[in-house]
Amino acid sequence: MDNPSRDFSITEWLPLRELAADKDIIFGASARYNQVISDEQFAALFAQECSVLVPEWELKWSAGDYQLRPSPNEFDFSAADTMLDFAQTHNLQFRGHALVWHESLPQWFQQVVNHQNAEKVMKHHIETVMGHYRGRMHSWDVVNEAIDYDPIASQRADRLRQTPWLQFLGPDYIDLAFRIAARADPDALLVYNDFGVDYNTAMDKAKRRAVLGLLKRLKTKGTPVHALGIQAHLHGDSLDFDPKSLRQFLKDVAALDLKILITEMDVNDSQLPRDIQRRDRIVAGVYEDYLSVVLDEPAVIAVITWGLSDRYTYLSEFHPRSDHQPVRPLPMDTNLQPKLAWNALARAFQQTRKR
């Protein structure tokens, strides 16, 4: 996978947001409150490189130290509001993640929510949160990861994941969530977001079929879903990338009159060689190979990385290297300097067609 002679040179050193915007594509990244509020150097770099900010934790029901929904009748928007202020100050768009998900639920959820009140709880959450940011959001991940992690082994014909929402409300909870969201903020782009559709493995192919099946059912019902979010958590050591099959999947999604956003992109390097130069070349190659295929599809309107700098990445905690070396999955290194991965993104934007 490592080609020492591969060329990652670029013709124009401009911020990624400008290179993407030149082709009518949005580039951005996720970040957490403390990163943009307390780290001035990182905040300046983020404002320079990105055109959209996604709060990584602060708009989930509960994540880390942040409790958007600390109790059934209480909401705390303080952290997310501060991030919105940062975005508006720096002319960044704001994107919401995520309204309905089976993870990041607060402790009270299990004790309080049941078959009788689940619809009311979900409706109250979507209306309150989207209403608070009405007219100020580029897009929302309305439903996140509703398809089974292993659709091959799923016991359901529709391959829906066994979640509290499915248990309490049945499969129509997805349609219901989007209809509530469309009323709460008619101007926001409403996204179904999921992972595991990037490669040509049996599991990923099954996940693609299941995601397409879900989107087709939603469109048939008239559900106001506007886009598919593809997380694109990629693996530096995977040999199962097949451009032809990925292109076809993207075409099938676009044929449903849906936009496509790459929503959480990074490249896991935990299994790659220790040598940093080799590792960075492989990671950059994965970025460029993937984006050269994805950006060929005109329906793809955004590329968002899950973090901007290796200084702040969830992979450090959840997928550390066995040799204890720092992970390097993102465009910028821990010193906020561009890596070959940055070049790969820049090249992909420069070489794609204008939307």
Domain boundaries, the chain: 16-351
- Which of the residues are catalytic? 145, 264
Q: For the domain 16-351, what is the CATH code?
A: 3.20.20.80
Give me the pLDDT at residue 12, please: 84
Q: How many Å apart are CA 310 and CA 332, to the nearest integer?
A: 6
Give the three-state DSSP class for 183. helix
Residue 86 contacts residue 31 (beta carbons within 8 Å):
no
pTM > 0.75:
yes
As beta bridge partners, residue 229 has: 193, 261
Residue count of the chain, please give it. 355
CA separation, residue 230 to residues 200, 215, 246 (Å): 15, 13, 12
Strands 52-55 and 26-31: parallel
Place of tokens 């600390």: 70
Give me the pLDDT at residue 123, please: 98
Per-residue pLDDT of the chain (355 residues; tens, 9 = 90+): 899 999 999 988 999 999 999 999 999 999 999 999 999 999 999 999 999 999 999 999 999 989 999 999 999 999 999 999 999 999 999 999 999 999 999 999 999 999 999 999 999 999 999 999 999 999 999 999 999 999 999 999 999 999 999 999 999 999 999 999 999 999 999 999 999 999 999 999 999 999 999 999 999 999 999 999 999 999 999 999 999 999 999 999 999 999 999 999 999 999 999 999 999 999 999 999 999 999 999 999 999 999 999 999 999 999 999 999 999 999 999 999 999 999 999 999 999 999 9
**What sign has the CA pseudo-torsion 183, 212, 298, 142?**
positive
Reference 345, options 327, 328, 332; nearest CA is 332
Degrees to nearest 5, angle at CA 350 with 348 and 353? 90
CA separation, residue 145 to residues 150, 219, 277 (Å): 12, 18, 34
Half-sphere exposure of 321 (CA within 13 A, CB side): 19
